[in-house]
Structure 1
Amino acid sequence: MTTDTRAPAGPAHAAAEPVAGLAKPGALARLLAPIRAHLVACAILSALSSASGIVPYIAVAEIARVLLDDPDGARRAIWTWVGIGAAGAGLWLVLLVQSSRIGHYADAAILHELRGRIVRHLGALPLGWFRAAGSGQVKRSMTGDLEEMHEVIAHALGQLTGAVTVMTVASAYLFVVDPPMALIVLGVLALMAVFYRISMRSMTTHMNRLIAADQRISAAGIEYADGIQVVKTFGTGGRVLRRFDDAVDEHTQAFAAWVAEVRRSSAASRLFGSELAVLAVVTAAGLAFVDRGTLAVADLVAFLVVAIGLPNSILPAVTAMQGVRKGRMGAANIERLLARAPLPEPAHPRRPDGHGVEFDRVRFSYDGVTHAVDGVSAVCRPGTVTAIVGPSGAGKTTLAGLLPRFYDVSDGAVRIGGADVRSIPSTELLASMSLVFQDVALLRDSVAENIRIGRPGASDAEVREAAVAAHVHDVIERLPSGYDTLLDAGGGSLSGGERQRLTIARAILSGAPIVVLDEATAALDPDSEAAVQDALATLAVGKTVLVIAHRLHTIADADQILVLDDGRLAERGRHDELLAGGGLYARMWAAQEGVLA
């Protein structure tokens, strides 16, 4: 019989549990279908193991009954029960090991398959989805959700099956010994179940409130950590910390409200589910029946040996049921991710004739109602630089994102070399362009490998040439291990400008004929900006270049400037022409020059 002494979950135990009502029924079963046979075998072995595990307790009870009923002639029967108990213990261990082995094997197999499916599916999703969802959803699916499924496969299934088996076998034995006493014992445990259900009836409401508070705490904490320099420099820490304190207060109030509502029912469930309660009831009722002559002392001993351990068999079942709820939640999240529509691949692929870019009456909407880009037309010729500028929210990044198919247009077309980007295979489309963003993405790998991503087959010499062209070679040489220095996702000791030049070296190495720069210098100090601008000038030679710019002086020499306003093309021309026109661009320029002055 199991000796798990964990208490049934009340607020203190369930606070981290996902809300079961949010889970999608059937998702877990569908994802685990490939290992169903293994799970059935695991459940059967677990049931047999648990049944064998209770045999030694029954054997002890029977030895006590034999000694009390026939102390003189009990020797042979005692040794028979000793043998039965020992055999049960041995069989319990063998079956437990086999059940665990099959369960963990099935767990490793299905999680390996699911990770492969998720990774392959992520590779087929539109890039715009990643920018919208961030890394949080991917991380949750690859780690947290799969971990919840692991708990179901490797642990919860065996615990639940074992607990049900122990309860069934033990209850059957107690009914054979004395039905009235067995009913009393089960009545105590039934009261525990009733109060537990009462304590959990409002779990969904309270958990939704707690989850919302947790999210606010996380957001406020990240905001404070990420903006620590600004907070310390400008003294805004009090306001940021107030948001964090408010979120903590909300979490505390939510938790206190739950505790206040369920404290009595939770305490009652713990009381009736304790060994002490069963011991007290069995002893009191048993002695009363013994005094009345309806229960033998030997039978009372059997209840004291077997019934007392039943609460410890129920508690793993409670834990397992919570694990199944979380597993269903994780499976539903994974299934929703796998159900996301991949980027459509062309049925009849076309090859671009050149690398000129054309936006032809392009419209795009995120919500199907409001157009983030509305009727924009422009031609970007090879060897030229096209700058896209405009107020915040004008649609600059959205327009540029339609070129690599972060999103597909709602209307109109985006073409490269006369071919609609939707008719170009996605791998070929992305290989034709280098994308440099304000947010630098580095891998946990060496400096050389971070650059070599641009062209995986490049030699060390070619990697160094790209670094020299990006004005970052000298920086790399000063690192502890040079090009072999390992970086983390944040770039280690590299500054923002140095990390940016590293990604530019990656883009130079790729040799792609189209370059898209999304505010690549917006967050840099003047010295870093100058170095990055030099690197970008090298990258742009002979390419079709699209630049999303916030600092207008960085694109004053562009061949054409597209000025967007509320998703529409408000102006088009060169820097001098737009200044002379006195429109939106001229006002933006005057505003920035006034600030700089």
Structure 2
Amino acid sequence: MAAEKAALGEILRPIKGRLRLAVAAQAVSAIAGVVPFIAIAELGRVLLDNEPDRSDQAWTITAIGAGALLVRLIFMLAAGALTHFADNELQLHIRRGLVARLARVPLGWFSERNSGTVKKAVQDDVDAMHHMIAHSMLEMTSATVVPAASLAYLFWVDWQMTLVTIAPLVIGLGLYSITMAGMAKHLPDYDRAMGAINGSAVEFVQGISVVKTFGQSRRAHQKFRDAADDFAAFFLSWVRSTLNSKAAAEIVLSPIAVLVAVITGGAIFVTDGRLAGVDLLPFALLGIGLTAPVLALFYASYELRFAKAAAERVSEVMNAEELPVAESPRTPSGHHVSYQNVRFSYDGKKEAVAGVDLELAPGTVTALVGPSGSGKSTLATLLPRFGDVTGGSLSIGGVDIRELALDDLYRRVAFVFQDVRLTQGTVADNIRMARPDATAAEVADAARAACVHDVIEALPRGYDSVVGEDARFSGGQAQRVSIARALLADTPVIVLDEAAAYADPQSEAAVQDALSELTRGKIVLLIAHRLSTVVDADQIAVLEDGKIVERGTHTELVAREGRYARMWHAHERNSAWQPHRPTPATTVSAVPAGGTSR
């Protein structure tokens, strides 16, 4: 809770001055809003008094009440304008800060989080703070000032009658405290129950094709139904546990209950002569208005709780560790890539890469193979700085990549992965992402080389079609668009995560042709999942537990009858067992260093 409060305070720092001014204006507005009721009460006391010729006093009280209404309106509008403008500026400040921070975090940070998490922080959580900033703070101010001002006046009129008036308020607050305590205790259970529903729903939707194929849709759907039933049972139990105290609090804090208390107590005091009949009027007017602000205070506290939680999530993104940037960048001499005793750990404990030495020469293809979790992807993604090595060094052209300017690094290293990401912009903008100044002709040439030009031309607006609107690509087509992007970048080093592994059979050959064009004459680091795609690689590094246990060409490794040979024989048996599975028409192959580069 303290962390959430600190996070909210830090986020609100840029607008704290204006918020204080808005709260002060709202406090003046709230006090001014009580004055007309006091004026009516005092006017009644004057008009019902037997003393003659008090018309001047009556008109003065009336003018004060009318003037207070005008003051209330002016200051209320001022407070609302201040908070809304402050909220507008804060949202702009936060979103700019988030985008700027996300542009500087390691690319691996995004691999650990899905797009929904980032979207929630940038959009949903920032929006969640709007009501608290623009409305709840003002509502809480009114809910505090109005009862305080009213009670101050009522105590001045008669302190005993004031105690009678606030008795329902005290009882109602006690009952609401019991309700709030019960609700707070079950909030973690509520979050877990909602998480179970969301998780089962996503699992069912994402796996619908598989479960339907195997006739298990009823069983998969049952998991979601069970989660929904469990949530319903929990929620009903939660509501029932707080129902009695909440209902009692609502009844006690209702205007009717307060009015009954005022009339009953007033009748007793007037009959006993302890209170003049005319003095009962202020309590009837202001007493019934004491409970509404208190209820508003409870509801505003909910908004504050959600805003604090949202602020903490936003702060986590705002404080994400940035990728270190060299103060005095160096320029490499050539493009030779060298891994020297490279180590990397995600959690600072177990190493995903444990002391790897690897040399990647220009014009060669190096394939990384090994079982799942062996460190292939981690080793490859260190090259484009998805994360920084925690030991050893990784250099290009004799310069540690941490000493390169990021723009320089990404002019030298491109990557094409299985999980294609296309932004919601035009197809042309997606291709020219690495080179925003590329001409339309250069974009089209890259698309032709990636075997996707005809697909794009067939779209309603061609290269001006917007991805997600009038441009919808299959997996293989989207992959070729990403390859066109890499072709246009024309970097000397390419990192591939076997981009055609999940392409549909119709587009697999086209993707392989595009990859061959992309990798011609380049340094290629290939993460291989199918051994048939690496038989022509210049060197194959076999990884296990983050270490290279074998290296050599396909022929050499098969002849050694080691780890790679066993994997290859298993691959051959699997291929023989599935004769229907197509063999790629083309694989990424080595090109002599003197080969042409696009």
Pick from 497, 508, 515 the counterpart of residue 518 of structure 1. 497
Task: Tell whether 2:292 aligns with 1:312.
Answer: yes
Task: Tell whether 2:54 aligns with 1:94.
Answer: no
Partner of 2:22: 42
Partner of 1:424: 404
CA RMSD, aligned part only?
Answer: 2.1
Structure 2: how far apart are the matches of 1:494 and 1:71? 89
Which residues of 2 match residues 13-162 of structure 1 at below 5 A? 21=1, 23-70=3-50, 75-162=55-142
Whether the 8 Å contact between 2:424 and 2:466 is mirrored in structure 1 is yes
Structure 1: how far apart are the matches of 2:504 and 2:2? 46
Partner of 2:214: 234
Whether the 8 Å contact between 2:169 and 2:252 is mirrored in structure 1 is yes
Point out where structure 2 has 5 or more consecutive residues left out of the alignment: 580-598
Structure 2: how far apart are the matches of 1:556 and 1:247? 48
Q: Secondary structure at the match of 1:375?
A: strand
Q: Secondary structure at the match of 2:436?
A: coil
Partner of 2:426: 446
> Displacement of 1:169 after TM fit?
1.1
Pick from 506, 512, 522 the counterpart of residue 485 of structure 2. 506
Whether the 8 Å contact between 1:65 and 1:302 is mirrored in structure 2 is no
> Displacement of 1:284 after TM fit?
1.9
Partner of 1:397: 377
> Displacement of 1:564 after TM fit?
1.3
Partner of 1:366: 346
Whether the 8 Å contact between 1:389 and 1:564 is mirrored in structure 2 is yes
> Displacement of 1:72 after TM fit?
7.2
Structure 2: how far apart are the matches of 1:379 and 1:385? 11
Structure 2: how far apart are the matches of 1:523 and 1:72? 97
Q: Secondary structure at the match of 1:342?
A: coil
Whether the 8 Å contact between 1:436 and 1:517 is mirrored in structure 2 is yes
Task: Tell whether 2:475 aligns with 1:534.
Answer: no
1:106 partner amino acid: A
Partner of 2:413: 433
Partner of 2:588: none
Identity of paired residues, percent?
Answer: 44
Partner of 1:566: 545
Task: Tell whether 2:169 aligns with 1:189.
Answer: yes
> Displacement of 1:100 after TM fit?
1.1
Shift in alpha-carbon separation, 1:558–1:236, aligned structure 2, 3 A: farther
> Displacement of 1:74 after TM fit?
6.1
Deviations 1:310-336 (A, max 9, x none): 211222222222222222222222233
Q: Secondary structure at the match of 2:103?
A: helix
Task: Tell whether 2:568 aligns with 1:589.
Answer: yes
Which residues of 2 match residues 279-294 of structure 1 at below 5 A? 279-294=259-274
Whether the 8 Å contact between 1:23 and 1:325 is mirrored in structure 2 is no
Q: Secondary structure at the match of 2:416?
A: strand
Partner of 1:465: 445
Structure 2: how far apart are the matches of 1:532 and 1:74? 96
Partner of 2:187: 207
Pick from 281, 289, 293 the counterpart of residue 301 of structure 1. 281
Which residues of 2 match residues 253-264 of structure 1 at below 5 A? 253-264=233-244
Whether the 8 Å contact between 2:39 and 2:65 is mirrored in structure 1 is yes
Structure 1: how far apart are the matches of 2:571 and 2:200? 31
> Displacement of 1:447 after TM fit?
0.9
1:183 partner amino acid: L
2:278 partner amino acid: A
Whether the 8 Å contact between 1:390 and 1:564 is mirrored in structure 2 is yes
> Displacement of 1:403 after TM fit?
0.8
> Displacement of 1:95 after TM fit?
0.9
Q: Secondary structure at the match of 2:289?
A: helix
Shift in alpha-carbon separation, 1:301–1:519, aligned structure 2, 3 A: farther
Structure 1: how far apart are the matches of 2:313 and 2:106? 18
2:553 partner amino acid: R
Q: Secondary structure at the match of 1:133?
A: coil
Whether the 8 Å contact between 1:42 and 1:103 is mirrored in structure 2 is yes
> Displacement of 1:527 after TM fit?
1.9
Select between 372-381 and 256-265 the one with higher mean Cα deviation.
Answer: 256-265
Shift in alpha-carbon separation, 1:51–1:577, aligned structure 2, 3 A: same
Structure 2: how far apart are the matches of 1:594 and 1:403? 34
Task: Tell whether 2:361 aligns with 1:378.
Answer: no
Structure 1: how far apart are the matches of 2:293 and 2:436? 56
Structure 1: how far apart are the matches of 2:456 and 2:120? 34
Structure 2: how far apart are the matches of 1:588 and 1:238? 38
> Displacement of 1:356 after TM fit?
1.8
Deviations 1:41-76 (A, max 9, x none): 111100011111222222233333334334975655
Structure 2: how far apart are the matches of 1:478 and 1:587? 46
Structure 1: how far apart are the matches of 2:398 and 2:104? 24
1:538 partner amino acid: E
Select between 372-381 and 578-587 the one with higher mean Cα deviation.
Answer: 578-587
Structure 2: how far apart are the matches of 1:594 and 1:270? 73
Deviations 1:97-135 (A, max 9, x none): 111111122222222222222221111111111111222
Pick from 330, 336, 344 the counterpart of residue 324 of structure 2. 344
Pick from 549, 554, 566 the counterpart of residue 533 of structure 2. 554
Structure 1: how far apart are the matches of 2:137 and 2:205? 40
1:383 partner amino acid: G
Structure 1: how far apart are the matches of 2:350 and 2:404? 28
Q: Which has the higher contact order (CA 8 A, sep 6+)?
A: 1
Whether the 8 Å contact between 1:220 and 1:243 is mirrored in structure 2 is yes
Shift in alpha-carbon separation, 1:236–1:561, aligned structure 2, 3 A: farther
Structure 1: how far apart are the matches of 2:50 and 2:81? 44
2:17 partner amino acid: A
Whether the 8 Å contact between 1:442 and 1:488 is mirrored in structure 2 is no
TM-score w.r.t. length of structure 1: 0.91
Pick from 163, 166, 184 the counterpart of residue 143 of structure 2. 163
Shift in alpha-carbon separation, 1:561–1:177, aligned structure 2, 3 A: same
Shift in alpha-carbon separation, 1:82–1:593, aligned structure 2, 3 A: farther
Q: Secondary structure at the match of 2:525?
A: strand
Select between 93-102 and 107-116 the one with higher mean Cα deviation.
Answer: 107-116
Whether the 8 Å contact between 2:459 and 2:471 is mirrored in structure 1 is no
Shift in alpha-carbon separation, 1:370–1:471, aligned structure 2, 3 A: same
Structure 1: how far apart are the matches of 2:273 and 2:205? 73
Whether the 8 Å contact between 2:343 and 2:389 is mirrored in structure 1 is yes
1:262 partner amino acid: T
Whether the 8 Å contact between 1:64 and 1:302 is mirrored in structure 2 is no
Partner of 2:584: none
> Displacement of 1:446 after TM fit?
0.9
Deviations 1:211-250 (A, max 9, x none): 1222222222222222322232222323432332333234
Structure 2: how far apart are the matches of 1:513 and 1:542? 8
Partner of 1:356: 336
Pick from 444, 459, 469 the counterpart of residue 479 of structure 1. 459
> Displacement of 1:261 after TM fit?
2.8
Q: Secondary structure at the match of 1:414?
A: strand
Structure 2: how far apart are the matches of 1:395 and 1:236? 35
